Structure 1
C-alpha cells in the first residue's frame, strides 16, 4: 500500500510517498501550475497509481485547482486539519523542527497509521459543488452587506440622525434602494432640509417604488426637516463625503447579494434533493441551498444521523474525567451549517405546530434558553432531514412530530 502526502503552499507544493512500513519512496517539489500537476500525476503512476486502484492522498486544504485535479476518478483525498498535522508532527520530534518536505512526510504517515480515523472529501456531484459555491458566496455577500450597513448607520449617528429616523420604518432600513437613493441625493442634513416633494418623489420612483409614494414623500420630508444638533459646516460636508464613499460600497454589496441570490434560485431547484429539502418547514430556496451546500449530496458521507448532527454542532458533547462530568455544546463544528440551522429552526416555529410545541416544551419543562431550545430542535429536525434524504421521502408533520394519545384525547 502506498500513501501520499502533499504540503500545500501558494506557489509550490512538496510531495512525499511512503509505503506501508513507513519507508520514504519518493519526494518531489512541484510548482502550482499545469506542469507541476502533470509531474505529480506521473510520479503517482510510477508507484502503481491506477484508475481502479488510486493512491490515497492527504493534503491540508479542500479547495483549489490541485484538489480539483486530484479528485477526478475514484481517488480518495483526505483534507487534514493543519492543527491535527502539527500534533502528529510532535509525535516524531520533540525539538519542534519544521520543514515543508517534512510536513509532506507527516501527512503521508497520517494516512499510513490512522487513515480509518479521517474522513475523505465527499463524492459530491458537480451540481452540488456549484450550488455550494453560489450559496456560500451569497451568504458572504449578505454578511458583507450587513457589515457595511452597520458602518453606515454608525456614521450617520454622528452627524445625520434624521436619516436614521426617516428610514426606521422600513424593513432592512439602509439596505433598501429608496434609502440609498435619498442619501445619494442629500448626503448632509443641510441638503436634506432643502429637498422638495418633487425631488423626494423622483428619488423614490428611481429606486423602483410603485405604490405609497405620496404618503412616504410627506413622511420623509417631515422627518428630514426635523430640528436636531449639527456638526460644524466643514466637518458636516467632510462626513457627507465619507458617507457617500460607504454608500458606494453598500450598493456594491447589495447588488452582489441580489445577483447571487438569483443565481441560487436558478441552480438549486435543479438538484434532485431540492424537493426533499424544500418540504421541511422553515427552509426556502436560499436557506435550503445553504444546507445542501454544507451536507452535500453524497449520501454515504455520514454513517448515520449522529455523525451529521456532530458535524453541524447541534448535538451536545460530554467531557468526563474522574468524578467530574459536563455536557456542553460543541464549539468545533461547521459554522455555516450551524448558522443556517439557527435560521431554519427559528422560521420553522411559525410553519410547523410540532416544531413550536417541541420548542415550548424545551423552554418550559426543561428550562432551556432560547438558543439552547432552538439547538435542540435543530438536532431533531436534522435527524429527520438525514432520514428523508436517505429514503427519498418528503417531510410529514404527523410522522416528524407525532401527537401523544393523552394529548389527542
Structure 2
C-alpha cells in the first residue's frame, strides 16, 4: 500500500522517522543520525516509499536546520508543524498523555495523511530571499541585544554614576548607546576618572567618536555635567562598579559593530533582489523596513493564495469569536511577530510622510479607534496593496491606490 505521510521527530543528535500508509499503519519506523549519512538514509527511505517523485510530504516541528535544508534541496515538500498543534494531535492517538520520539514521528506522519490541506508547506523562496531573511532576523536580534545592554548600563549608572545619564541623555541629543557616550565611558568608567578629564581630553574623545561640529562647546558642557555634585559610593565599590561598566561598554561596542556590518550586508542583499523596487516604492518603507518586510513575506508567489492569507500571517487581520448571540472581534495573536512589529513601524512612518495614509489614520481615530488599532487597520490595508503590487510587479502609485472620489451628483446619477 502506498505511503501517505512522513513524520520526523528531530533532536540534536538523532532523528526518528515514521512513514504511514493510507490507513495510518506505520510501515517505516527508523532512527537516523544528525549527519550527512543520516540525511542520505532519509532520502533513500523517501525515494523507496514514494510512488510519485516528490509526492510524499514530510512533517517536522521546525523550519530551520541542516536536515530541513537538505530536504528542501532534494525537492521534498516540508511542512513545519507548530509543536502546540502536534500536542493537540497527540491526544487523538493516546489518551494517557504518554509520548516518545517514535510516537511523535508517527503523529506527524498522520497529520500529513489526514490534515495536509490544513497546513502550509515551507515556501520555495529563492536563495537571495532566504539569505535576506537570515540577515534581517540577525539584525533584529542584535537590536534587541543592544537595547538589553543599554538598559543594563543605564541601571548600573543609576547606582553609582548618575551624572553620566544626565550628560548623555539630555534633551534627546545623545543616547547611552551612542558613539560619544561609549568612547567617553570606556575612557572614564568611574565618577572620579570622569571628573579628571579636561576639556581638551573630552574634545579629543568626541573627535575619536566621529563628532565633527560643535566639539569645543560640547566638551565644555560635558565637563560641567560630569563634574557636578553627586552622591558617591565607597571608593572600592565604585572601582568595582567601574570595571563592570567597562565590560558592559565593551559588549555594547561589539554589538554596535556587528549591527553596522549587518546593515551594510542588508543594503546589498536588498538592493540585489528583484522585488526591492516594488517594496521600496511604498511610503514609509526604506531599506531597513523594506528588507525586513520582504524577507518575512518571501518571493514565493504561491505561498499566499490571496491578500487575506498574507494579512492573517502578519497578524493584521482581526479574529472573530462568535458563539450563540455573543460575538467578539479582537486582534490576532497567532502571527509572525517579526512582520507584525515591522508593520507597526511601517504604518507609523507612512502616516508621517504620506497625506493619503495620514487621512486614513485620522479617519480611523475619529471613528473611535485607538492609536494601535488605527495603525493595525492601516497595516491591513497596506498589505493588501503590497500583495497586489508584488503579484503584478507594479510599483506603488498613489493615484491608483487612492483614486479621486466622484462628485456627489455623479454618484447619485450612477446610483
Q: Which residue of 1 aligns with 2:157?
A: 156
Q: Normalising by the residue count of structure 2, what TM-score does the alignment of the two structures yield? A: 0.95
Say whether the 8 Å CA contact 1:290–1:340 is kept in structure 2. Answer: yes
Q: Which residue of 2 aligns with 1:310?
A: 312
2:398 maps to 1:397: yes
Say whether the 8 Å CA contact 2:168–2:174 is kept in structure 1. Answer: no
Once residues 239 and 313 of structure 1 are traced to their aligned partners in structure 2, the CA distance between those partners, rounded to angstroms, is 44
2:190 maps to 1:188: yes
Which SS does the other structure have where 1:267 is aligned?
A: helix
Once residues 132 and 215 of structure 2 are traced to their aligned partners in structure 1, the CA distance between those partners, rounded to angstroms, is 38
Which shows bigger deviation, 346-355 or 204-213? 204-213
User: Deviations for 1:202-232, whole angstroms, at most 9, x for unmatched residues?
Assistant: 1111112222211211111111111122222
Say whether the 8 Å CA contact 1:355–1:401 is kept in structure 2. Answer: no
- State which of 221, 224, 228 in structure 1 corresponds to 2:223: 221
Which SS does the other structure have where 1:175 is aligned?
A: coil
Change beyond 3 A, Cα 1:119–1:152: same
Query: Post-superposition shift, 1:405?
Result: 4.0
Say whether the 8 Å CA contact 2:344–2:376 is kept in structure 1. Answer: yes
Once residues 320 and 151 of structure 2 are traced to their aligned partners in structure 1, the CA distance between those partners, rounded to angstroms, is 38
Q: Which residue of 2 aligns with 1:87?
A: 88
Which SS does the other structure have where 1:263 is aligned?
A: helix
Which SS does the other structure have where 2:104 is aligned?
A: helix
> What's the RMSD between the two structures over aligned residues?
1.5
Q: Which residue of 2 aligns with 1:77?
A: 78
Which SS does the other structure have where 1:97 is aligned?
A: coil
Say whether the 8 Å CA contact 1:313–1:338 is kept in structure 2. Answer: yes
Q: Which residue of 2 aligns with 1:57?
A: 58
Say whether the 8 Å CA contact 1:156–1:164 is kept in structure 2. Answer: yes
Query: Post-superposition shift, 1:109?
Result: 0.5
Which SS does the other structure have where 2:73 is aligned?
A: coil
Once residues 259 and 172 of structure 1 are traced to their aligned partners in structure 2, the CA distance between those partners, rounded to angstroms, is 22
Which shows bigger deviation, 289-298 or 40-49? 40-49
Q: Which residue of 1 aligns with 2:413?
A: none
2:30 maps to 1:34: no
Change beyond 3 A, Cα 1:49–1:77: farther
Flag structure 2 segments of 5+ consecutive residues without an equivalent. 411-415
User: Deviations for 1:26-82, whole angstroms, at most 9, x for unmatched residues?
Assistant: 1110010011111111111222366x4442111111000000010124321100111
Say whether the 8 Å CA contact 1:352–1:397 is kept in structure 2. Answer: no
1:183-262 mapped onto 2 (5 Å cutoff): 183-262=185-264
Query: Post-superposition shift, 1:107?
Result: 0.5
Say whether the 8 Å CA contact 1:17–1:26 is kept in structure 2. Answer: yes
User: Deviations for 1:216-268, whole angstroms, at most 9, x for unmatched residues?
Assistant: 11111111111122222222222111111111111111111111111101111
Which shows bigger deviation, 396-405 or 346-355? 396-405
Q: Which residue of 1 aligns with 2:337?
A: 335
Which SS does the other structure have where 1:174 is aligned?
A: coil
Query: Post-superposition shift, 1:172?
Result: 5.7
User: Deviations for 1:258-294, whole angstroms, at most 9, x for unmatched residues?
Assistant: 1111110111110010000000111111111110111
User: Deviations for 1:339-377, whole angstroms, at most 9, x for unmatched residues?
Assistant: 00011111111211111111111111x211111111111
Once residues 349 and 64 of structure 1 are traced to their aligned partners in structure 2, the CA distance between those partners, rounded to angstroms, is 39
Which SS does the other structure have where 2:93 is aligned?
A: coil
Q: Which residue of 1 aligns with 2:100?
A: 99
Change beyond 3 A, Cα 1:229–1:53: closer
Which SS does the other structure have where 1:71 is aligned?
A: helix
Say whether the 8 Å CA contact 1:54–1:74 is kept in structure 2. Answer: no
Change beyond 3 A, Cα 1:25–1:216: same
1:7-26 mapped onto 2 (5 Å cutoff): 7-26=9-28
Change beyond 3 A, Cα 1:154–1:406: farther
Q: Which residue of 2 aligns with 1:45?
A: 47
Q: Which residue of 2 aligns with 1:371?
A: 372
Say whether the 8 Å CA contact 1:70–1:77 is kept in structure 2. Answer: yes
User: Deviations for 1:379-403, whole angstroms, at most 9, x for unmatched residues?
Assistant: 1001110000001111111222334
2:277 maps to 1:270: no
Say whether the 8 Å CA contact 1:312–1:333 is kept in structure 2. Answer: yes
Query: Post-superposition shift, 1:10?
Result: 1.0
Change beyond 3 A, Cα 1:190–1:78: same
Q: Which residue of 1 aligns with 2:385?
A: 384
